């Protein structure tokens, strides 16, 4: 794997400077930027518009133990149980305890959650023992949070935002410190160098690596890929969460049908109208990996539907107005008929390895949100913990940056540039047949069929072989589409590699040839990968920062 995605010269780059550089504009990126702006000059770069992220698409809500009947201890226990033995208990403790304060701060920034009878309205989702999910505008929680954070960012003079900026690679000095990012300006086609004392990756997920996903088009795993090329460790890449219920209608996107729908009482049924999850512990509210596999198995025999009708018409319209309108647009009135659903790639539990302060294995590089992996989600994320994750660990990153900040900004002369023009990914003999645009769908179809909900040795080896061959043969042009495609190849290969090496089933990773969870056989551990190694390393679940 080459260090840089494309050749470039220091003389042809426009340079910008700030104290803290944040890459990404979801909840993790914007909240980190706002907290950092209390002490530093901050730059936020975003791939498309500042509002476009996975956060905006989050429906269910944000989990936090604020009810009198609830407690952070119960929230911790639910998270550990859902994580299938792979959560770091100390990191989860930080999440559930510090999350309460962060949510209060979020509300202070203008986020308006739903109230009922003068109190915050709480609902329950799968694998939660209590009602602890805050929501906004019924089923538009992510949209409301993003709205509030964007408004706060735009009113903060210490924060500069640049839209339509694609991060090609991270920049380093001779000591190996990460001191910025090489960026493509989508408006002008020019290269930019953004330098800072601290760089925070908050670039979101990778759902677009799969054919069917609830993620927006921007979720192509870019942050994880640039971190890997720079030498950072990736952790737990085998653990991809497939959301159980996404809209399944021809020519319609795999629109997410929130877990909260089942939390409010909707039933999963087959073509005969039978509740096929009835014999499973937790039924429709079991952990996501269990429900997704239950639906996948049932789909081999019959179509699967989500029946909203047990919720009641008034509650459906009150709680899920956006879902109701979207389904109606595609010809399904959930007030009167069941909705066809199927699993879709939704969330990455793995990502750039960090400690509980967001520090990566590279100096001055931090990561937060879905692109990061600190062990808080284990092998299977508990519903609605993702937004909380972005808040808590974004805030902790700022604390660590403050502790280490020396006030001296890096200069452009310190940047290590490519030694020659051959630093990009080389094209092979079939390059005319392997353009990035045409290759993307092949990657997505391969990942869905061979590295999806059910996996085995044969399918994973075939996927690894093809992804490696395609990476050697892709024709790379200086465009966002092609850069994204190469990032998808790199990240797809990392997922397949980790999945092939883990010879057990746990959480979001299920091997049909190794169907058992094997704690006693030594598999209760995190996987690590870096570009220098051709093998997967493992570390203990409980780690000290």
Alpha-carbon span 425 to 475, nearest angstrom: 9
Q: 167, 230 in Cβ contact below 8 A?
A: no
Query: How many Cα atoms sit within 13 Å of 445 on the Cβ side?
Result: 6
Where would I find the H helices in 167-235?
222-230
Count of all residues that appear for the chain in the document: 545
Q: 174, 151 in Cβ contact below 8 A?
A: no
Three-class secondary structure of residue 455 per DSSP: strand
Type and span of the H or E element at 495: helix 480-501
Please pick, among 147, 229, 262, 288, the residue that the annotation labels catalytic: 288
Q: Which two tokens stand for residue 74?
A: 């119960």
**What phi and psi, each to the nearest 5 degrees, are found at residue 139?**
-125, 30
CB atoms under 10 Å from CB of 509, counted, come to: 28
Alpha-carbon span 269 to 327, nearest angstrom: 18
Type and span of the H or E element at 192: strand 191-201
**What phi and psi, each to the nearest 5 degrees, are found at residue 346?**
-135, -45
Pick the closest to residue 508 from 206, 223, 212, 243 (CA basis): 243
Alpha-carbon span 259 to 117, nearest angstrom: 24
CA dihedral angle for residue 184, residue 208, residue 377, residue 35, rounded to 10 degrees: 30
Alpha-carbon span 442 to 440, nearest angstrom: 5
**CA 432 distance to own-chain centroid:** 33
Alpha-carbon span 248 to 212, nearest angstrom: 10
Type and span of the H or E element at 467: helix 457-473
Q: 537, 528 in Cβ contact below 8 A?
A: yes
Q: Which residues pair with 511 in a beta bridge?
A: 455, 514
**CA 359 distance to own-chain centroid:** 17
**What phi and psi, each to the nearest 5 degrees, are found at residue 155?**
-95, 5
Q: 71, 132 in Cβ contact below 8 A?
A: no
Is residue 288 part of the annotated active site? The answer reads yes
Type and span of the H or E element at 145: helix 141-154
Three-class secondary structure of residue 20 per DSSP: strand
Task: Return the residue matching tokens 């086609």.
Answer: 189
The residues carrying an active-site annotation are 288
């Amino acid at each position: 794997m080459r260090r840089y995605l494309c050749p470039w010269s220091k003389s042809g780059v426009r340079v910008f400077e700030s104290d803290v550089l944040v890459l990404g504009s979801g909840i993790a990126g914007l909240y980190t930027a706002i907290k950092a702006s209390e002490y530093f000059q901050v730059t936020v770069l975003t791939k498309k518009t500042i509002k476009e992220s996975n956060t905006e698409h989050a429906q269910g809500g944000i989990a936090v133990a604020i009810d009198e009947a609830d407690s952070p201890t119960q929230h911790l226990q639910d998270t550990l149980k859902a994580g299938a033995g792979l959560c770091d208990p100390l990191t989860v403790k930080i999440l559930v305890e510090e999350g309460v304060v962060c949510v209060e701060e979020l509300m202070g920034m203008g986020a308006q959650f739903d109230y009922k009878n003068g109190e915050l309205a709480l609902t329950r989702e799968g694998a939660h023992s209590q009602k602890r999910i805050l929501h906004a505008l019924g089923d538009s929680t992510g949209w409301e949070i993003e709205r509030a954070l964007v408004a706060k960012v735009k009113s903060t003079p210490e924060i500069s935002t640049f839209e339509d900026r694609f991060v090609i690679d991270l920049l380093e000095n001779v000591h190996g410190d990460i001191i910025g990012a090489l960026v493509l300006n989508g408006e002008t086609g020019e290269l930019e160098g953004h330098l800072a004392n601290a760089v925070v990756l908050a670039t979101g997920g990778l759902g677009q690596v799969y054919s069917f996903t609830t993620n927006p088009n921007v979720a192509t795993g870019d942050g994880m890929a640039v971190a890997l090329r720079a030498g950072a460790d990736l952790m737990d890449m085998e653990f991809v969460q497939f959301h159980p219920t996404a809209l399944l209608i021809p020519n319609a996107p795999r629109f997410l049908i929130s877990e909260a729908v089942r939390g409010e009482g909707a039933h999963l049924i087959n073509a005969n109208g039978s509740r096929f999850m009835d014999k499973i512990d937790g039924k429709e509210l079991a952990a996501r990996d269990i429900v997704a596999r239950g639906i996948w198995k049932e789909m081999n025999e019959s179509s699967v539907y989500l029946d909203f009708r047990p919720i009641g018409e008034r509650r459906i319209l009150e709680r899920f107005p956006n879902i109701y309108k979207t389904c109606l647009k595609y010809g399904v009135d959930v007030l009167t008929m069941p909705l066809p659903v199927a699993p879709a790639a939704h969330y990455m539990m793995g990502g750039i390895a960090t400690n509980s302060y967001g520090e990566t294995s590279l100096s001055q590089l931090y990561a937060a949100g879905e692109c990061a992996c600190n062990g808080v989600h284990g092998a299977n994320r508990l519903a609605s913990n993702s937004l909380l994750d972005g808040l808590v660990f974004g805030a902790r990153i700022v604390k660590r940056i403050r502790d280490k900040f020396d006030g001296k900004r890096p200069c452009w002369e310190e940047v290590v540039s490519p030694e020659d023009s051959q630093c990009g990914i080389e094209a092979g003999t079939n390059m005319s047949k392997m353009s990035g645009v045409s290759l993307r769908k092949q990657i997505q179809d391969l990942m869905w069929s061979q590295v999806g909900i059910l996996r085995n040795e044969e399918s994973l080896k075939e996927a690894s072989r093809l992804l490696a061959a395609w990476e050697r043969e892709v024709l790379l042009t200086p465009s966002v589409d092609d850069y994204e495609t190469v990032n998808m190849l790199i990240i797809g290969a990392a997922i397949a590699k980790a999945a092939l090496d883990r010879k057990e089933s746990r959480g979001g990773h299920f091997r049909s040839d190794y169907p058992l969870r094997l704690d006693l056989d030594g598999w209760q551990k995190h996987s690590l990968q870096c570009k220098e190694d051709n093998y997967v390393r493992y570390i203990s679940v409980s780690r000290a920062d």
